[in-house]
Amino acid sequence: MQALVVIAHPCSDSFAHAAATSATDGLARAGHRVDVIDLYAEGFRAAMSLPERLAYDTDEPVVDPQVADHVRRLQRAEILVFVYPTWWSGLPAILKGWLERVMVPGVGFTFDGRSGKVRPGLGHVRRIVGISTYGSPRTSVKVVNDNGRRILTRALRMSCGWRVRTRWLALYAMDTASDDDRRRFLRRVEQRMGAW
């Protein structure tokens, strides 16, 4: 299968990048083709521009060449993997912006011509994986509803259809995790990604 790994961390030497490497190594070992989008390294702009908003409701909602490239890559993917640190109980702004600018009508969803209902636009996606770190322990994360996880495993899943499988790999209490905890997590990421 074709996998698309989307990384959202500004530092190339970050733990998020190490986790993305573990994920891509596991996917490749399992025989999947892997494409990687590093949002910060590509200089992806999080904010939707005025021309993009004006085009949003038209037949041509994608006006930025970089977004068009990401759409093409997304449309080939059967596995979507998102790697990011949880900041302020949610997705980093750059990843939220990516979803807003890439998952436009005709890509992330379509409208049924007769009923006007929203229909999934990513029916080719079979799996969604979230890999994230949290500064807080798991109990604290549950109290604030883990917004990033909800966006990816619920809202994005609706764009793919309910038969898509989701997986969540999290390292909680990152701020106090030992080097051994971090190494174990990276091994777990690689093993889980290599098990498909």
Predicted pLDDT at 162: 79
Kindly tell me the sign of the dihedral angle through the C-alpha atoms of 174, 15, 13, 99: negative
- CB of 88 within 8 A of CB of 126? no
User: Where does the chain show beta strands of DSSP type E?
Assistant: 2-7, 33-38, 79-85, 109-111, 118-120, 127-133, 165-171
Q: What is the CA radius of gyration of the chain?
A: 17
User: What are the residues facing 33 on neighbouring strands?
Assistant: 2
The predicted model gives 90-119 an average pLDDT of 93
Residue 30 has pLDDT above 90, yes or no: yes
Residue 161 has pLDDT above 90, yes or no: no
Number of domains in the chain: 1
Residue 118 has pLDDT above 90, yes or no: no
Q: Where residue 129 sits, what CATH number does that domain have? A: 3.40.50.360
Q: Domain residues for 186? A: 2-194
Residue 164 has pLDDT above 90, yes or no: yes
The answer to whether the pTM exceeds 0.85 is yes
Residue 112 has pLDDT above 90, yes or no: no
Q: How far apart are CA 180 and CA 87, in angstroms?
A: 23
